[in-house]
Amino acid sequence: MSGHSKWATIKRKKGKADAERGRMFTRLIKEITVAARAGGGDPDANPRLRTAISTAKGSNMPQDNITRAIKKGTGELPGVSYEEVTYEGYGPAGVAIYVTALTDNKNRTVAEVRHLFSKYNGNLGENGCVAWMFDKVGTIQVETSHCDEDTLMEIALEAGATDMSIQGDVFEILTPPNDLETVRAAVEAKSIPIASAEVTMVPQNTIKLNEKQAETMIKLYEALEEHDDIQNVYGNFDIDDSIMEKLAG
pLDDT tens for the chain, 249 residues long, are 454 555 555 554 454 555 566 778 888 999 999 999 999 999 989 988 988 898 888 788 899 999 999 999 998 988 778 899 999 999 999 999 999 999 999 999 999 999 999 999 999 999 999 999 999 999 999 999 999 999 999 999 999 999 999 988 899 999 999 899 899 899 999 999 888 888 889 899 999 999 999 999 999 998 998 898 999 999 999 888 788 777 766
Contact 96, 236 (CB under 8 A): yes
**Domains recognised in the chain with CATH numbers:** 18-74 (1.10.10.200), 83-132+206-248 (3.30.70.980), 134-203 (3.30.70.980)
Q: Shortest CA distance to 195 belongs to which of 59, 66, 61?
A: 59
User: Is residue 48 packed enough to be buried (19+ CB in 10 Å), middle (13-18) or exposed (0-12)?
Assistant: middle
Handedness of CA 22, 10, 184, 176 (dihedral sign): positive
pLDDT of residue 1: 42
User: Is residue 125 packed enough to be buried (19+ CB in 10 Å), middle (13-18) or exposed (0-12)?
Assistant: middle
pLDDT of residue 89: 97
The reported pTM is: 0.81
pLDDT of residue 186: 94
Q: How many angstroms separate the CA atoms of 12 and 24, rounded?
A: 13
**Which amino acid appears at position 40 of this protein?**
G
pLDDT of residue 54: 84
